[in-house]
Structure 1
Amino acid sequence: MNIVETRLPGVLILQPKVFGDERGFFVETFRETWLADAGVNVSFVQDNQSRSARGVLRGLHYQRRNPQGKLVRVARGAVFDVAVDVRLGSPTFGDWVGVTLDDVSHEMLWIPPGFAHGFCVVSEQADFVYKCTTYYDPDSDAGVRWDDPAIGIEWPALAAGVTTMSAKDLALPLLYEQKSNKLPLFDEVSA
């Protein structure tokens, strides 16, 4: 396993070894020591999977209370995956990082608690799988608008003019419109 730091402290790209031959491939998709060796000591309590078609954009989601850390990957297809620092008081508040995750490289992205997360599908279809450090809390569910100009995410699906989103995601507020009590606090989630 190779672990690559991104320009956002704490957000990591995990590059597993993929063993392939004429039969197909084998890859380990999770080992507890990978994150621990990188200084990330977490436990996972929930696994999720979604299937989406080309141009579907999901996000940007986070939880104010019980913020979730997420280890995300693509089991089939390809997505452009994004993490945005929404931790109030963070030196990188409002900054984002994006990476293409697919079923060829099998790279994964570790998104620490306190970051908003979203992705758009860039293949015909994608199965997106992720592990969470806390349970989904609908009362704490929050998000930031996908096209917030202050964040400036360069979504590849938008360049192709293809986008499908939920009504909920289309109605999310801009980051500067968020009330401070709706944002995770840097001091609380980075300790």
Structure 2
Amino acid sequence: MEYTQLNIPDVILMEPQVFGDHRGFFMETFRDDEFKQKVVHTTFVQDNHSKSSQNILRGLHYQIKQPQGKLVQVTSGKVFDVAVDIRKSSPFFGKWSGATLSAENKKMLWVPPGFAHGFYVLSDEAEFTYKCTDYYAPEHERSILWNDPSIAIDWPIIHGASPILSQKDIDGVTLDKAEVFA
């Protein structure tokens, strides 16, 4: 596994070694001892799997209590994945890191606790899996607007079309009005 720090050093892009031939491929997608040594010493308690269609944007989500670190990957299709640092004490507060994740490139992204997370579907469909460091707690979930100008994420929106959003994401708040971490 290759581990690459992005422009925010706590956000890590992971690229597994893939062994393949005409029959298919094999790769390790997670190894606890190596992850703890190379990324962070943590425990994952919940795995999630979602499916979305092209032009769907999910995020920017986080839990203000029970913050979740997420190890995300795409098992089918392609997405643009984003992590936004919302730790007020961080020198990277309000900055974002992004990467294209796909079934083809097999890359994964570590989104630490204290970050808002979102993704935009670039392919016809995408299946997205993620390991979480804490349990889902809907009462603590918050949403920051995907297009907050103070964050200025450079989303690769297809043909300039408006992304498809949930009501929760439409109702998201700007970073200056959001509950953030100390």
- TM-score using structure 2 length: 0.96
Which AA in structure 1 matches 2:147?
D
Secondary structure in 1 matching 2:157:
helix
Please say if residues 122 and 158 of structure 2, whose CA atoms lie closer than 8 Å, have aligned partners that are also in contact: no
User: Counterpart of 2:28?
Assistant: 28
Match of 2:11 in 1: 11
Q: Distance in 2 between matches of 1:117 and 1:169?
A: 12
- Find the counterpart in structure 1 of residue 152 from structure 2: 152
User: In percent, how many aligned pairs have the same letter?
Assistant: 48
User: Which residue does the alignment assign to 2:88?
Assistant: 88
- Report if the CA contact (8 A) 2:2-2:14 is conserved: yes
Change (3 A) 1:86 1:35: same
The answer to whether residue 181 in structure 2 is matched with residue 184 in structure 1 is yes
| Unpaired segments ≥5 residues, structure 1 | 186-191
Contact 2:64 2:180 in 1 (8 A): yes
1:68-97, Cα deviation, whole Å (9 max, x unpaired): 000000000000000000112211100001
Q: What is residue 189 of structure 1 aligned with on the other side?
A: none
Q: Which stretch shows the higher mean deviation, 103-112 or 30-39? A: 30-39
SS in 2 for 1:59: strand
Amino acid at match of 1:144: I
Q: Which residue of 2 aligns with 1:47?
A: 47
Tell me, yes or no, if the aligned pair for 1:80 and 1:99 is still in contact at 8 Å. yes
Aligned residues: 182
Partners of 2:148 and 2:158 lie apart in 1 by 14
Letter in 1 for 2:119: F
Structure 2's unaligned 5+ residue stretches are none
Mapped partners of 1:121, 1:19: distance in 2: 27
Distance (whole Å) between structure 2 residues aligned to residue 73 and residue 52 of structure 1: 14
Pairwise CA RMSD: 1.2
Query: What is the CA–CA distance in structure 1 between the aligned matches of 2:24 and 2:157, rounded to whole Å?
Result: 29
Q: Counterpart of 2:95 in structure 1: which amino acid?
A: D
| Comparing 26-35 and 125-134, the one that deviates more | 26-35
Task: State the distance in 2 between where 1:10 and 1:74 align.
Answer: 20
Whether the aligned pair in 2 keeps the contact of 1:67 and 1:184 (CA below 8 Å) is no
Amino acid at match of 2:44: F
CA distance in 2, matches of 1:21, 1:4: 26
Letter in 1 for 2:10: G
Residue 43 of structure 2 aligns to which amino acid in structure 1? S
Query: How far apart are 1:34 and its partner, in Å?
Result: 2.7
In the alignment, which residue of structure 1 is the partner of 2:115? 115
Distance 2:33 2:106 in 1: 18
